[in-house]
Every structure is written in structure tokens, then in C-alpha cells.
A and B are shown apart, each in its own frame.
Chain A
Amino acid sequence: MQDQLSALLAKAVAELPVIAARPDFEAAKARYVGPNGELTALMKQMGAVPKEARPAMGKLINETKAQLQTHLDAALARLEAGELAAQLGPAVDATLPSPDAGPGTYHPLTLVREEMCRILRKVGFTVADGPEVETEYYCFDALNTPADHPARDAQDTFYLPESARFANVTKKTPGEKYLLRTHTSSVQIRTMLKGEPPIRIVSPGRVYRRDTTDATHSANFHQLECLYVDKNVTVRDLKALLDYIFESLLGKDTKTRFRPHYFGYTEPSFEVDLSAKHLPKVKKEWIEIGGCGMVDPAVFAGVGYDSEVWTGYAFGMGLERLAMLLYGIDDIRYFYQNDLRFLKQFA
């Protein structure tokens, strides 16, 4: 019987590894360990084994059974693996490009705008928005622009016909003409009229100038302006903001400087220069980047804020100009052509 068991095991070891299909395996399994299988038949012979030899023989049968089962399991695992593998094609060539389009890209103006908004949010500025079609009051009068100021000329500013009506752009006075805003400062006025100080907003947006389009001019472009109104706001605070913005954007070795200037809506007013290392294509030490100043008391008076109590500052800059500096882009028109070879460079 011992020999029979050995022979049985040897047969299984030889047969099981070469079984290629599941029915063959099931048949083999039945042949060995099924109710009518060979091992079962041998086990039935246990009754004929002398009593004293039974324990040893029982042990041997159990061992053989366990070994047989191990071989069966291995064969089954091998078959199953083969079946799963059969569901797959050949191995992929991972270096082939995906035929799906993509990835999508953000426009560089969006990237720069969002970066600025994130930087400003950290110091409490929220993003405000307002209409691009504006009225003379919000674009000029409220910003202390004299009635005969050249910026109001039809030569420099786009107007809509007197008959035009914009149901969701409010006029201050009925006779006002609609125009395309020349700066986002109109958002500051609307925000101040709508709310109460303290106010801390950043207003990025599209603005329009009646200008010839060339490498540095565009009939519409984007500005980003900050307005902060609170008690005891000082020139020094304004300088601190500008230092913070550009250090955040360009690194700790970035410097800003103020040059006195003139704007109707701020007093004192400054132009802001920037000095930073590693800006592509910048050769000068100082580059003009924007304008700023302390909100003029006349502007506060116009929105009904008491300038004895409230003080504030405003800062504005061109987003295209900033993007051009940061990325080293030399033609503003590229922003509006949307050549994919351009768009793909930034995201």
C-alpha cells in the first residue's frame, strides 16, 4: 500500500503541471481525490491493514493527501492565472502617446491673475467684480476726473450711443453716457457705494482704451487694482503692501520704489518701480509696474465717506504687462491670438 501511495503521488506530480485546460484538471482531480478516485480507493483499503500498522499507514495516507492537494492547488492557480492572462492583449508600449487630447491649459493671464489674487487673499483682500460697460460717473466723475480731462475724449475712450440702454448697469444720473471702462477703478467706486468700510478688495478685470494695437498696446487689456479703506491707513502701509506683493511674487531680493506722480483719484500719488533678479528679457534695473496712492479725499466725499475718519490706499497695474515681465513675452497681441504653441507654454 505504501508503494501504491508513492506511485499515485509520483503520477500526480508528473501529470498535474502539464494539464492545460480546466476540464482536464477537473477530470484529474476527480481521478485522484474524487469519491471514486484512486486515493479514496486506497483509503478504503485501510480496513485490511493490520491494527498495529494502522497509525503509521493513516499518517502516510494523510501526508499523501496533503501533498496531492498542494499539487492540485498549484495546478489550479496556474490554470487560473493563465485564464486571466488570456483576457489581456500583449503588453502595452507605455511610450506611445495617448491619443486623447490634453491636458488642458490655463491662459497665462489667468495664471498671473490667480497668483496675484492668492497673494492678496493672504493679507485679507477679496476679489470684487463689476460691469465692463460703465457710465461716466463711475469711470470718471467719482474718481475726481475733471470734466475736460483728455481721458474722457471720444478719441481715447469707447462710448456707446446715447440711445443705448443697459438694464443691469446702473446710472448715477439719467443723462450719463455709457462707455467701456478705461480702468477697473469703477469697481472700487461701486464697492464703496454698496458697502461700508473697512474695505479690502482686489478688482482684476478687462479694460478698454481707444488705442492702436501694436506689440505693447491693445484695445482691450486687463488691470488689477487693490483698494484698502480703513482708519489710519498710511503711505508706509501702502509701501509695505507693494513690498509684500512683489516679494511674494518674485522672491525676497525683490525691491520696489515709489516715484511721486499725479493721478486725480489719489493724493499723494506714486508710480511704482520694481527691481528683481532673474526676470527674463529685462535689462534695466528698475521697471515701471503700476501706479498707486492714498485715496483722494474728493473720492471719499463722492461716495459719502468722511475723510476725517476714513483713509485708504489704491494700487493698480496692468496684468498683461506683469505677465510679459514674468514670462518674458514681448508682444501683447499673443495673449489674444490663442496660438496653441503659446497657450501650452504656461500651464
Chain B
Amino acid sequence: MKISRNWLQSYVDLGGISEDEICRAITFLGFEVENVIRTGAPQLTNVLVGEVLTRNKHPNADKLSVCTVALGDTLGVKTIVCGAQNYVVGDRVPVALPGAVLPGNFVIKQSKIRGEFSDGMMCSAKELGISEDATGLLILGDRPLLGAPINSVLPPGDTVFDIEITPNRPDCLSHLGIARELSAWFKKDLVYPQENFRGGIANNAATRADLLASVRVDAPEDCPLYLAHVISGVKIGPSPAWLQQRLSAVGLRPINNVVDVGNYVMLESGQPLHAFDARKLAGAQIIVRRAADGETLKTLDGKERALNSTMLVIADGSKPVVIAGIMGGENSGVAPDTVDLVLETAIFKRQSIRATSKRLGLTSDSAYRYERGVDPHSAQEAAWRAIDLIIETAGGQVVGPVVRVGSDIPWQREIVVTHDYITEKLGFDIPASEMRAAFAALEFTITREEETVQPARGPAWTITIPSWRDDLDRPIDLVEEVLRLFGTEKIPAAVVSSPGLVGDDDPVVRFNRRATDYLVGHDFHECVNYTLRPGAELKTWVSETAAAELALANPFVEDQSHLRSTLIMGLLASLKLNQARGVAVSRLAETGRVFVERNGQNLECAAVGFIIAEDAARHWQPRAGTDFYHAKHHVVSLAAMAGVDLARQPLAPITGPYFGWQEGQSAAAGEMQHGWTARFGLLNLGMVKAFGVEGKVYAGIFVILPEKLAAATAARRRYADFSLQPAALRDLALVVPIAASAGEVQKALAKSARAAVGTAFVLEGVTVFDVYQGKGLPEGTKSLAFSLVFRAPDRTLTDDEVNTVFTKIQDDVVATSGYLIRK
């Protein structure tokens, strides 16, 4: 909302208060000053009215003249060199004398110009900062007094504050509203405009039923009050200068006197108004109704609007003429030849205006105010005020009938608040007298004041809230009003109070923190990627049905249309960006939410993921490359942080069309049914290549339900005694089918070993230490070598007893699994 300082001055005397102070006041009253625009001449000293007495060509320059300029009796005549061409001897012009400072910090000094002495400068409008006009000197008409200060001759400048009004304060979408706030802040009186016309119609003015026969409101729920006044005999023309200046200052283009008055009163009071050309109302009728489906109206912006039955319109006897509260139609507006007016001031329901404005994608100053709420009591006074100004600027007189359909919206609001309550909420004391003054300044009336003693001492006030402050209806709302006028800058400092006991952070937060610490500690760079990803890409990772489940209803851009189901693609995108920019990067990681589908329902999960790309940097000493087991190692570690022991989980190869992993080079564990999944290995080579990333990329991701993490606070482990006796070691190589996994072979061997050892002593470990395939082995087999560790709790094992057991193990594993012993 643009607010003109000159305009404000009509209601509150801000003389002597600087712009900065006004901005500060507006800011601390709770509005944001987005911009301050100055118009007109700034205050200039040593710039006076002068008259050109002589003008001679400069001896050394074709385009310059040497002039003598009269500046009145005291200052006499000065010689000034001038480059302008648009003046003649006898013109009166602004003259800046040495010592003057023009806009742009341009200091005027005595000088020599091409050898000729110059004792000042004659100025253009631009040089004075009035306008952009630099085509020549500003010629002053009306022959102002010689030597007069230029500001006394030029129209006064203005300062316009562009203010953001919060949605709770529609009353401040008006100059009077802001003036009221400033009058309260600066403790100055607020002067309301006084209307001459207050409903009385001159005796000689007959009722003109031909101009307005009837007003009917068919939709009272959307239009509780409709006022119509008829003004006859107006002459449409340009507005007077003062009115044009005020509208122009706040960015409105003056149109004609009647339209300008309507806008002026709206910007003054916040009440929108609309004027019809009475001639154009078919049947001299006004009907406030819902539009019929299929009706159309060409609005004043020249667009044809399709209406429907949800929309409130003002219609005449045959057609809609206004989209109520939003915009008038071309078919009924005021035209240069309009003579008789019907002036509408009405109250429309906020929700109705908002819904229609939204449906039509059409807004206006009027709609903006109705949507936020117009003072239910302003319609009458605004009509009177507009009538005064129309008669003043366009002539005419009010004739009957004055029509009022509906009734005043009942307004009765009282809030009871105590001094004690306000103090308690603020946490510091403001004297009761200051609170009373704040209420009075905002035109809240204290209708009752009682001294209370229980539960606390101090006055209790019953306060009547004015009709324009619909935002206030509870005692807490008045705390803010008191604090606003007291000044939020004056809230006293204090020490933060803090409890002795602090709880635990959320389990997801703790998990993410640990995972990030781990990954950063393992040389990963933590990334943050967008949660929204393109839908097409998702189909690489999940089924088409699952992808559909992750679609947004209203994506904003195509490549951010779906919730991510994995962190991998964001990390790949980061890798791609770095590769494209020639930045060598290998290890990237991220923690964050992913969304996975299970049984047709989505689950929001916590996740940690990483990628390890081929190191593109060249090193003076090469290092071994990354393989599957690097990825596995990190996923095992990360899963452990969530209480999941991957060593005890079955691993499955990742196959199938939907997964971004390379078949045979990747593995998965876990099911969302159990609350978590882990995947790791090589990313699908084709997918990575198609995505635009170079080289092989290994990756891992661990996904877990937040609620599973919360439950993962495992029972405290129990310590198990361990033996201090020496261990006995035996190695055993098994020849097994190529397809047999190390896991299953280990399991079979461990089972045989545990059985053979029995309770005689302890089998501490069965660990694979060699994998061999090739020469010396039968076709289709490989050899897995295991190290077995035995130990007794109480003694050194003898070779004999270990050998006995070891033989038993070999016999058993061969018998039960069919593996062969490699000799």
C-alpha cells in the first residue's frame, strides 16, 4: 500500500517529523516499509528565482551563452554562463548560486568556463531533482518574485511510503488507517474529514425513479449491506490538480473526476465504491445476485469474463454489470457524457469475493480490500464523503431515492483485560496510565474500570473495540496493542532460564548425526539434494505403480514432480555436476528422507546413502580401486548404528527390471515389513552412463522407518567371559560348486564344527581367508579356505584332542554338504 505523506497530513500533523522517524514508527507499529519514494523538489538553499537580462554568445564556444541575470534588490545582477537553448531574455528561471548543493551532491562554485567567468548556474528541472526533464532550463511561469527561494515557487514535494500491510490489518489499507496508527505513535490528534452531505436531500430534489427504480439483493448472505445514492447532473471532466496529484503520488492514473473520487475515497477510508452511469442500468434496476452459469461480462480491463453461479454480481434488469466487489463492466461504467450517477457502497462477504477473485484470476484494489475485510460501518460515511467530493469536482446534486438494503452489520465487541494479565504476559511492567493512553490513542474506549485485589492487584478494564479492528477479540490481542505502542525496542534484556534436566534428541536426528560423522570420517563429502525428482527417473528404481504413488498432485516444474525413493540419484546428479565442471570427486554421501512404497501404501523413511565413483584425479602413487566390498563395509557399519547386524541377515542378489543396481554386482538385505532395507554394490552401468556420469560407481543405501529407529534402543548387552588360554588353529580348504556362496559354505562348516566340538571346548571362529578358482580344481568348482579357531576356557588344548575334533569336522562336513576337502 502506497501512502503519501502530504495526504496523511490532512488527518494528522506530522510537520517537523523526519522521514526516518516516520519510517521507524511504521516499522515498530508492525508494518514493513518496503520502499520510500520522494517526488518533487527537495529542499534547496541558495537556489533562487532569477530573470535573464542579457544573453550573448560565448566568445570561445558555439553552444554556450554568457548571460546576465537579475536576482532582485539584495543580490543584484550576476554573470552566468549557460548551455541551454530554450530560453529568451526576460524569462524567469531557477538560479543556483555558489554554495548551493543540487541533487547528486553537485556543489555550485564560482568558475571559469572556456575562459569566461560564471557566478552560478541556471537550472533545468532535472538538475533540481523535480523530474527527468533535462531538455532545457525550467522556465518559471507566472513571473514569480525575483530572489524568492525556489522551494516557495515550486509545488511541494512528497514522500511516498510503500508499506506492506499484514493480513490482519485491513484497516490500514487506507490513509486514515495509517494516520490513526501514526497519530497514536506520535501522540498527535487525528482529524477525520467532515462530510457536508449526511443523508439529507435538498427540498427541491425530486425522487428520480427513472434513474433508480429499485435495488434488490437476492444473495443477502454474500451482501449483507448495499447502499445506493443517486447523483444527478454531474459533468465529467478531469479532476482538479490536488486530486490528480494525490492519486498520481500513490501510483494511480487519474481518469476523470467521478472515477478519481471513487478511488480517492477508497484510499482514504478503505471502503471500495463503485459509480454507475444511471442511463445504462436497464430498467433502472440494481439486482445483487449470483451470476447464472454461462453469463459473461466484459470487465473494465477489456477482458471477457465467464461467470458461474458461485459468483456474486451486480446486475441491472437484464444483465450483469459488475463482478461484485471486484471489477465493473464496460457496459455500465462512467463515460465522458455521463450525467446521472448511481453510487454504490456495499459490504460483501470476504469469502465470496476471495473465491470469485481466485476463480477468475482477477484482482483489484477493491477486491484486495473486500477479501481482507472492510470495516462494516464504513459504507455510509464513505458514500457521504464521495458525494461531497463528486459535487465539489463534478457538480450535480443528490436526488432520491437513497436506498439501503440490508442492515448495519451488528458490531459490539468488548474485551475485559487486567493490567496484571498484560504484565504477566509481557514479563515486565508498563504503568497502567501508559496502557490507558495506548487504548485511547487507538480509539479503544474503556467503558469500565475496576480495581481488582484478587487474584492480583490492579485495574481491570472493559474495553470497547472499534468496528475496524475485527482482528482483536481476546485479552492476548490487547497485549500486543499495548506492546506495539510501548515499543518493542524497549523490551528489557533478561537471562534465559533453563531447566536442569535435558532430554534426548530425536532418534532419527541421532542416527543421522552418527551416520554423517561416520561417513565424513571416511572421507565422504556430505551433500544436500532436493527431495523432489523427475518421475521418469524414479521408474529406474521402483515399479511403475510405486512411482505413481510418489507423484505430487501439483508439481511446479517437470523435473521435480515426484518424491524421491532413493538418495542415490541426487548423489549421482551431484557427481555429474562436478564431473561436468572438471572437479575430481569420488565419495559423496547424504542423509535424509526417502519415500518407499509397500503394499500400495507409502512409508516416509530415514535414509543414509553414499556413492564411490572412480577417482578421476591422477595420483603420484596409485591406490587400489573401489570394489563391491568397500560398499558392503560401509553399509554394514551404517546398519549397525541403527541396531541392525547385517552379518546375521540373509543377503539376496538384486535382480529385476526396476532396480538401478548392476545384476551380479550388488546385493540387498532387509524388507520394509521389518522396518528397514539395505542395498549396496555397483550401480547399473547402463543407467549410470545414460544419466551422463562417467566410470563405474559403487553405492550403498540404508533405509529405516523412523519408528523402528525409535524402538532400536537395544537392551543392554551382557558381558561374556572369555578364555585367557592359548588358541589352537586349524585351516581347512573345501572344494565347493562355483555357485555356492561363501556364506552358505561357512554356515555348513560352522555347523559341523560346533557339533564336533560339542561341550569339550569352544569353537571361537570359522573365517574364510582364501578363495581360489582355476588350475588344479575340477571344472565348475572353487576352493574356499577357512581358518578355525579353538580354545578351552581352562587349559591349553592338546594336539591330540584338537586333531580328533578336526577329523570329525571334516568327515561331517563332507557327509552333510557334499563338499570335498582340498588336500
Give A110 Cβ to nearest chain B Cβ, in Å.
Answer: 6
A133/B583 in contact, CB under 8 A: no
Complex CA–CA separation, A153 to B358 (angstroms):
10
With an 8 A cutoff between CB atoms, is A302 at the interface? no
**Are the C-beta atoms of B527 and A166 separated by less than 8 Å?**
no
User: Does residue A62 face the partner (Cβ distance < 8 Å to B)?
Assistant: no
A126-147 with Cβ < 8 A to chain B = 126-129, 131-133
Instruction: Tally chain B residues at the interface, Cβ within 8 Å.
Output: 99
Fill in one digit per residue for B560-583: 1 if any A CB lies within 8 Å of its CB, else 0: 100100000000001001100101
State whether A211 touches B556 (Cβ < 8 A): yes
A236 touching B492, Cβ below 8 Å: yes
Q: Closest Cβ of chain A: how far from B595's Cβ, in Å?
A: 7
Asked if B603 is at the interface (CB within 8 A of a chain A CB), the reply is yes
Residue pair B532, A220 in contact (C-beta under 8 Å): yes
List A contacts of B488 (CB < 8 A). 257-260, 270
The answer to whether B476 touches A99 (Cβ under 8 A) is no
Report how far A185 CA is from B811 CA in the complex, Å: 67
Stretch in B42-50, B136-144, B292-300, B614-622 with 4+ CB within 8 Å of A: B614-622
Given the known A-B contacts A165-B600, A261-B166, A296-B476, are A104 and B574 also in contact in the complex, defined by CB atoms under 8 Å?
Answer: no
In Å, the complex CA distance between A59 and B79 comes to: 126
Whole-angstrom CA separation of A344 from B519 in the bound complex: 15
Confirm or deny: B660 has a beta carbon within 8 angstroms of a beta carbon on chain A: no
Minimum CB–CB distance for A191 against chain B, Å = 10
Q: Which segment, of B222-230, B245-253, B585-593, B743-751, faces chain A?
A: B585-593
B706 at the interface (CB under 8 A from A): yes
Q: With A and B bound together, what is the CA distance between A96 and B620 in angstroms?
A: 8
A234–B525 CB distance below 8 A: no
Q: Which residue of A97, A100, A269 is within 8 Å of B480 (Cβ)?
A: A269
Please state if B556 and A106 are interface contacts (CB–CB under 8 Å). Answer: no
Q: Which of B152-169 contact A (CB under 8 A)?
A: 166-169
The smallest beta-carbon distance between A156 and chain B, in angstroms, is 10
Bound: A344/B520 CA distance, A: 12
> How close is B360's CB to chain A, nearest CB, in angstroms?
14
With A106-B516, A106-B520, A154-B553 in contact, is A235–B600 under 8 Å at CB?
A: no
Tell me which residues across on chain A come within 8 A of B114, comparing CB atoms.
none
CB-CB < 8 A to B505: which residues of A?
117, 126-127
B602 pairs with A166, CB closer than 8 A:
yes
Residues of B close to A198: CB separation below 8 A = 499
Residues from chain A with a CB closer than 8 A to the CB of B525 are: 104-105, 338, 340, 343-344
B479 interface residue, CB < 8 Å from A?
yes
Is A237 close to B, CB under 8 A? yes
B491 contacts A258, C-beta separation under 8 Å = yes
B770 touches A (CB below 8 Å): no
- B633 close to chain A: CB less than 8 A: no
List residues of A (234-266) whose CB comes within 8 Å of B's CBs: 234-237, 239-241, 243-244, 257-262
Chain A residues whose CB sits within 8 angstroms of the CB of B502 once the complex forms: 121, 124-126, 200
Which chain A residue has the least Cβ–Cβ distance from B556?
Answer: A210
Q: A residues within 8 A CB of B593?
A: 131-132, 206
Do A219 and B530 have beta carbons less than 8 Å apart?
yes
B601 near A167: Cβ-Cβ < 8 Å: yes
B528 and A109 contacting across the interface, CB-CB below 8 Å: yes
Say whether A324 faces chain B, with CB atoms less than 8 Å apart: no
Given A129-B509, A169-B604, A338-B527, output 4 extra A-B contacts at Cβ < 8 Å.
A96-B620, A131-B706, A168-B604, A219-B532
Q: List 25 A-B contacts (CB under 8 A).
A: A99-B621, A104-B589, A124-B498, A127-B505, A131-B706, A133-B604, A210-B554, A219-B556, A220-B531, A237-B427, A239-B491, A240-B497, A259-B30, A262-B168, A270-B488, A294-B479, A297-B476, A338-B577, A338-B578, A339-B577, A339-B583, A340-B525, A340-B584, A344-B525, A347-B520
Q: Which 6 residue pairs of A and B lie closest in terms of their CB atoms, listed nearest first?
A: A234-B427, A236-B427, A260-B30, A268-B480, A102-B523, A99-B619
